[in-house]
């Protein structure tokens, strides 16, 4: 229902007062000379004014002031006109003007009308004393004025209370509407976040999940460029981008330093950072964004619990281009992205673990098969040679006996080496592999081993090149012999006849480098990590005897000495194994 203004109601009452005035003027008799004409003139003025004020009703202050003056003049005119009647109540019409004045302008309006009525009451009392030849009664005037002032105060206080209550009610209504709007905005915010959450959970594949998320985000918070960056130790790694030159400038996989990087501030604060204008860059990556024409940026932390693992960055071309609700939504999305990243990474970790377990299981199966074959071949050779010697000792020539005995010796040595590798691997895994450290002359150790390798066979030349000033190292000489012996034996095993194996010993900074280079078939890049694993052997390559444990043992020994062992190779170009040991 539409609430009518006060002046409209007063104008209606004023219209209703016209027929009442006509009735009273018509019923009254005994008018003094010309008084009847004046009464009808006042009634006509009331009717004309009532119609005019009703037609032009307004809530303006000027209208209210004009209307109050008109009402006071009409009421005063009727009050003074009918003073000729003994006991007439027309003087009380002044109270009506006071009430209307207080209703319009509060306590001040009521008091103003009450004070204005002093003159009317005084004239009324003068007229009454003249008509009835009675004395002038001042107390009648003061009573009229005092009652009017009290009425003005009372009605003004009531109006003030009503105004206060109305203002309070209107304020409550505004607050309720604001709360309703806020609840609606929050509901929209949660609905948008839920859509993004569903997009993130649509796949456990990182690229697919973020692809769906970015498509949903573009409709919720339009952007010119966005990125998701993770904090990893002392670096920031970009894992997803979209928008302007996403594949050219800081694409997925880019690693950035945390020095002077916004991610460092976000990690420390754990709060959303809003860069209203990047015209004056504060972080190193903002120079690249400015080169793309970007100006404003919101960076929300990826919060996994209380820990910040990265940030969600949304960038626009316009300076100060984000509204408050967009910043709030971005902050909420940061938590959702963090949760999705944690879930996907946990899934990837579990998947990699399962794949690694399967690979190790397959390697163990291959190892059992390999060891069975490696044991069976020398054992068969030893048993066959021994039985031949036993059965035909007298028939065999001395050189034949020597050949069979040499075969038995070689195969038992091979068996011992295989069993030694298996035992060493078990001790390494159990942490019981022992070392005896002392000062070791690596150059002399390598010379001895190269000389032994050259004497032990004559098909593949083995040469050593020792650089000047190679310092000694702190290590276990026998364990280092295992490393170099394994590398030289492998190089000889896989090198073609006549092609040399080169062993270089040099100093580099505070390290001693020992490199063994062969001219063999080489190793594919995918297999270069595998050969250092336990039971690891190159699939599809030339078949050579071995347990697949030698390089695993060599790497473990090198790492225990604080060093490393790496391979550089390509198919058909041989291989170079380099051991780096601290001097």
In the chain the domains, ranked by start, together with CATH numbers, are 6-172 (no CATH), 206-345 (3.30.450.40), 438-582 (3.30.565.10)
CB within 8 Å of 443: residues ≥ 6 apart: 466, 470, 505
Q: According to the model, what pLDDT value does residue 202 have?
A: 66
Beta partners for 578?
A: 515, 566
> Are the C-beta atoms of residues 333 and 301 closer than 8 Å to each other?
no
Coil, strand or helix at 581: strand
Label the pairing between strands 564-569 and 575-582.
antiparallel
Write the burial class of residue 353 (CB in 10 Å: 0-12 exposed, 13-18 middle, 19+ buried): exposed
Measured between alpha carbons, how far is 580 from 564 in angstroms, rounded to an integer?
5
> Are the C-beta atoms of residues 308 and 341 closer than 8 Å to each other?
no
> Are the C-beta atoms of residues 504 and 465 closer than 8 Å to each other?
yes
Tens of pLDDT along 322-348?
Answer: 988 888 888 888 887 777 777 777 777
Measured between alpha carbons, how far is 6 from 286 in angstroms, rounded to an integer?
62
> Are the C-beta atoms of residues 330 and 300 closer than 8 Å to each other?
yes
Label the pairing between strands 296-304 and 307-316.
antiparallel
Residues of the chain under the 70 pLDDT cut = 1-3, 87, 185-186, 188-190, 192-193, 197, 199-204, 206, 363-375, 535-548
Q: Is the pTM of this model over 0.75?
A: no
> Are the C-beta atoms of residues 103 and 159 closer than 8 Å to each other?
yes
Measured between alpha carbons, how far is 443 from 466 in angstroms, rounded to an integer?
6
Q: According to the model, what pLDDT value does residue 535 have?
A: 66
> Are the C-beta atoms of residues 56 and 63 closer than 8 Å to each other?
yes
Beta partners for 257?
A: 235
Q: Which residues of 192-218 are buried (b: 16+ CB within 10 A; e: fewer)?
A: bbeebbebbbebeebeebbbbbbebbe
CB within 8 Å of 430: residues ≥ 6 apart: none
């Amino acid at each position: 229902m539409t609430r009518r203004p006060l002046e409209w109601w007063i104008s209606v009452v004023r219209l209703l007062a016209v027929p009442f005035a006509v009735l009273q003027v018509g019923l009254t008799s005994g008018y003094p000379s010309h008084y009847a004409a004046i009464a009808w003139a006042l009634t006509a003025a009331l009717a004309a004014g009532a119609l005019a004020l009703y037609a032009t009703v307004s809530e303006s202050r000027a209208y209210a002031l004009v209307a109050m003056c008109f009402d006071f003049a009409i009421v005063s005119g009727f009050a003074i006109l009918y003073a000729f009647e003994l006991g007439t109540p027309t003087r009380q019409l002044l109270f009506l003007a006071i009430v209307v004045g207080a209703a319009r302008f509060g306590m001040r309006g009521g008091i103003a009308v009450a004070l204005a009525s002093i003159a009317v009451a005084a004239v009324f009392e003068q007229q009454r004393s003249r008509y009835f030849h009675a004395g002038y009664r001042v107390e009648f005037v003061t009573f009229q004025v005092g009652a009017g002032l009290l009425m003005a105060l009372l009605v003004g206080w009531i109006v003030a209370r009503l105004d206060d209550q109305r203002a309070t009610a209107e304020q409550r209504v505004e607050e309720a509407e604001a709360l309703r709007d806020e609840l609606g905005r929050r509901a929209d915010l949660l609905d948008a976040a839920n859509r993004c959450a569903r997009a993130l959970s649509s796949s456990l594949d990182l690229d697919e999940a973020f692809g769906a998320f970015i498509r949903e985000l573009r409709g919720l918070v339009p952007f010119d460029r966005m990125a998701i960056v993770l904090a990893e130790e002392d670096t920031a790694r970009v894992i997803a981008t979209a928008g302007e030159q996403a594949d050219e400038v800081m694409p997925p996989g880019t690693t950035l330093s945390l020095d002077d990087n916004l991610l460092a501030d976000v990690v420390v604060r754990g709060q959303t950072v809003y860069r209203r204008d990047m015209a004056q860059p504060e972080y190193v990556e903002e120079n690249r964004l400015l080169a793309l024409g970007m100006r404003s940026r919101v960076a929300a932390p990826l919060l996994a619990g209380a820990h910040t693992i990265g940030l969600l960055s949304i960038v626009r071309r316009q300076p100060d281009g984000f509204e408050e609700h967009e910043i709030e939504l971005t902050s909420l999305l940061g938590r959702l992205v963090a949760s999705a990243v944690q879930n996907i990474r946990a899934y990837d970790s579990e998947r990699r673990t399962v794949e690694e377990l399967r690979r190790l299981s397959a390697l163990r199966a291959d190892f059992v098969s390999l060891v069975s074959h490696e044991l069976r071949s020398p054992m068969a050779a030893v048993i066959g040679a021994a039985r031949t010697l036993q059965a035909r000792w007298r028939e065999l020539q001395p050189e034949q006996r020597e050949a069979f005995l040499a075969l038995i010796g070689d195969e038992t040595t091979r068996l011992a080496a295989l069993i030694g590798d298996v035992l060493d691997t078990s001790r390494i895994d159990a942490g019981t592999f022992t070392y005896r450290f002392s000062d070791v002359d690596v150059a002399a150790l390598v010379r001895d081993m190269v000389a032994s390798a050259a004497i032990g066979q004559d098909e593949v030349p083995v040469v050593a090149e020792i650089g000047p000033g190679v310092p000694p190292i702190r290590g276990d000489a026998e364990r280092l012999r295992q490393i170099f012996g394994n590398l030289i034996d492998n190089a000889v095993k896989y090198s073609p006849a006549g092609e040399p194996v080169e062993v270089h010993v040099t100093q580099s900074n505070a390290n001693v480098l020992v490199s063994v280079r062969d001219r063999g078939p080489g190793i594919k890049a995918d297999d270069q990590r595998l050969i250092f694993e336990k039971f690891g052997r190159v699939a599809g390559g030339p078949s050579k005897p071995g347990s697949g444990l030698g390089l695993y043992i060599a790497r473990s020994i090198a790492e225990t000495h604080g060093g490393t062992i790496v391979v550089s190779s390509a198919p058909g170009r041989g291989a170079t194994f380099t051991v780096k040991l601290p001097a």
